[in-house]
Amino acid sequence: MKELLRKSLHLLALLLFPLYEILGKAALMKLIFISLLISLLLEILRIKKGWLFGFEKLARENERKSPGAHIYFLSSSLLIISLFSKEIALASIISFALSDASASLIGRSMGKRRIFRKTLEGTLSYFIVSSLIISFFFPLWLSLLSSLLGSLLELFDVPPNDNFSTPLGVAVLLFIGNSFL
């Protein structure tokens, strides 16, 4: 139940579509920056002072004394939106959020073959969902290639945190691949 609740928060990434259109890049970056600052303040209070704010209902064991995944995701989103085009930002952030949720839910419910701390079924789910989402923005070859990279980054849990490294890595590959179009 905790994981379902955690991953349902990933659906908030879908708000990027209308927010980017309505607010524009600069205002969206300010909104994410303010969200990040508030989140950092709450994280400091949680870690240093033990104030929980309901966080214990969502936290994984490894997040009890370290920043939550949302800090890395907000940081990555802010960086991606500031550095890349709207299409790259939307494709990389939304594909990560929904693919990560899918991988976790499928991996935990149906995963049988372990690969490191993940499952083959979850990784395949990540690849499929990511490919579908990115293909709305970019050609199929680039969608498949960037989804493969995202799947591998997620599988190997690249530091500092997959919520930072994976969407950023996908954005960089989309930028490079898009330069060949």
Q: What is the pLDDT of residues 81-139, one digit of tens each?
A: 999 999 999 999 999 999 999 999 999 999 889 988 899 999 999 999 999 999 999 99
Q: Say how many C-beta atoms besides its own lie within 10 A of residue 51's C-beta.
A: 11
3-state class of 28 per DSSP?
helix
Confidence of residue 66 (pLDDT cuts 50, 70, 90): confident
- What is the share, in percent, of the chain residues with pLDDT greater than 90? 70
How much is the pLDDT for 120? 94
Strand ranges (DSSP E) for the chain? 114-115, 118-119
* Alpha carbon distance, N-terminus to C-terminus of the chain: 43
Give, in degrees to the nearest 5, the angle at Cα 33 between 45 and 104: 75
Contact 72, 161 (CB under 8 A): yes
Q: Tell me the pLDDT of the chain averaged across its residues.
A: 90
Residue 114 bridge partners (DSSP): 119
Asked whether the bond before 160 is cis by omega within 30 degrees of 0, the reply is yes
Structure tokens at 80: 């991606």
pTM, two decimal places: 0.90
CA 4, 173, 78, 133 torsion: positive or negative? negative
* 67-84: pLDDT as tens digits: 888 999 999 999 999 999
